[in-house]
Amino acid sequence: MGVDRRVRAWLRAALAAVVLASGPALATDPDLAPFSELQNLGLGFQELGGHLPPPGAFGGQNEATITQNGASLSATVAQYGGRNEASVTQSGFANVAALLQVGLQNTISLSQAGDANQALIGQLGAFNNAAVVQNGVNNLVQILQVGNGLNVSVTQNGNNMTARVVQRN
């Protein structure tokens, strides 16, 4: 089984979980988190292309912490588990954070200080929480949450920033 096929299998399993959790009315809705979107969520990140769920996924607790200072830095987190926690702090210019969590309970805390920073966050699970703080100019954050119990908080201080949040079951 190739890398793409194995990732796709995991995403399909997670999608099945969400559809079951959403109830029968939503299970027939064609607009619900189509597989292609979830597939893109997992495979669309260049940085995440080679990551696979670890053995015993959805059964454990993952914690990741990244702190970066400088310019053009990249922080990538991919967590598959029952309870995932990621904390990322970046300060500087043109930094990128790409964070993906698939699990039953996901929590992300991201702080970016500086200009031209970007953050891309994907969470798939039953309880998702994402808190993002950006200070500076021309920063961007995009968040996709799929599941139940969705919670996003974005705070941006500065000028010319964009925050985009999509939540769905």
Partner 1 sequence: MKRKLSAIAVAAALACAYTGALWADTGTITQTGDGHEAHITQTSVNNASTASVTQTGSGNTANVTQQNSSQPMHATVSSSGSGQNATVFQEDSWNAVANVNQSGGANNTASISQTNASDNFGETLTTATINQNVSTNSMATINQSNADGTSATIDQVGNFGAASDATITQQGVLLSTASIFQNTTDASSSITQTAGSHLTASILNIDARVSDATITQTGSNNNASIQQASLSTSSGSSFSDFANAIIDQSGSGNSAAIDQAGAFTSNATINQGGSDNTANINQSSDHSNATVNQAAETSGNVATVNQSNGFYNDALIQQSASSNVATINQSGNGTAESRNSATVTQLSAGNNATISQSGGAGNVATITQN
Contacting positions for partner 1 (CB under 8 A) = 9, 12-14, 16-18, 20-23, 25-26, 29, 31-33, 57-58, 104, 125-127, 147-169
Q: Taking the complex as a whole, how short is the minimal distance between the CB of residue 49 and partner 1, in angstroms? A: 20
Q: Taking the complex as a whole, how short is the minimal distance between the CB of residue 120 and partner 1, in angstroms? A: 14
- Given the complex with partner 1, which of 88 and 143 has the nearer CB atom? 143
- Given the complex with partner 1, which of 99 and 154 has the nearer CB atom? 154
Alpha carbon distance 152, 70 (integer Å): 27
- Given the complex with partner 1, which of 20 and 71 has the nearer CB atom? 20
Backbone angles phi, psi at 160, to 5 degrees: 55, 50
Q: Taking the complex as a whole, how short is the minimal distance between the CB of residue 26 and partner 1, in angstroms? A: 6
Q: Taking the complex as a whole, how short is the minimal distance between the CB of residue 104 and partner 1, in angstroms? A: 7
- Given the complex with partner 1, which of 58 and 98 has the nearer CB atom? 58
Tokens coding 24: 């029968």
CB atoms within 10 A of CB 87: 17
* Cβ-count burial 16-34 (b if 16+ within 10 Å, e if not): ebbbeebeeeeeeeeebbe
- Given the complex with partner 1, which of 35 and 72 has the nearer CB atom? 35
Alpha carbon distance 97, 64 (integer Å): 13
Contact 87, 94 (CB under 8 A): no
Q: Taking the complex as a whole, how short is the minimal distance between the CB of residue 114 and partner 1, in angstroms? A: 14
